[in-house]
Amino acid sequence: MGSISDAMIGVIKEAIRLEVNGRAFFEAAAETTENAKGKKMFAKLAQDEVKHLQTFGEIFSELTGGDEWKQYVDEEDGSGGSPLIEALRQAGAGGDPEGRSGELAALRIGMQLERSAIDFFEKSAAETDDERARRVFNKIREEEMFHYDLLQAQFDSVHSSGFWLDMAEFKMDGTY
């Protein structure tokens, strides 16, 4: 492999694992959510995870001079069922006639997933000597923070009022 350290390979592998599992979870959440706005939000989050995955792939390819990162994606995709997706299925099988328990579980699990990603990317940015990797980790951490805040707002709305927010109704970054 090119000029990439074993530690950085490990970090990028873990980043790939997080993004692949995040995509799979959000796709499953979109499938199981009955509300059209909820489906749309989860599908968009899954697309964002794919974009993050492509970013890590580009970095890995640049550093190693090859596409070896794709084997890690394939390994993750073929690794079997995700415990997060199984937890989502179990929550949806709770017999709630309005389907709210499954939707709330999807939001709650999604927040846990995003919190893990935020912590990972924050730690990775702090520990790397590579300035480009640090910028990418910080950028993706900020996007994951936005995802977390979005899921929290959705959870609060669905839990308190029963209504899903439309993603285009507002921005959570304080700008108008």
pLDDT per residue as tens digits for the range 144-175 = 999 999 999 999 888 876 666 665 555 555 44
Contact between 111 and 155 under an 8 Å Cβ cutoff? The reply is yes
Q: Which ranges of 33-165 does DSSP label H, i.e. alpha helix? A: 36-64, 69-77, 83-92, 100-127, 131-160
Place of tokens 């893990």: 116
The residue-averaged pLDDT of 117-140 equals 89
In CATH terms, the fold of domain 6-169 is: Ferritin (1.20.1260)
Contact between 145 and 119 under an 8 Å Cβ cutoff? The reply is no
Of 88, 97, 67, which Cα lies nearest the Cα of 21? 88
Whole-angstrom Cα distance, residue 164 to residue 21?
24
φ, ψ for residue 138 (rounded to 5)? Answer: -65, -40
Domain boundaries, the chain: 6-169
**pLDDT for residue 100:** 58
Chain mean pLDDT for the chain: 78
Q: Which residue has the higher pLDDT, 146 or 85?
A: 146
78 — pLDDT class (breaks 50, 70, 90): very low
The residue-averaged pLDDT of 68-80 equals 67
Whole-angstrom Cα distance, residue 124 to residue 102?
33
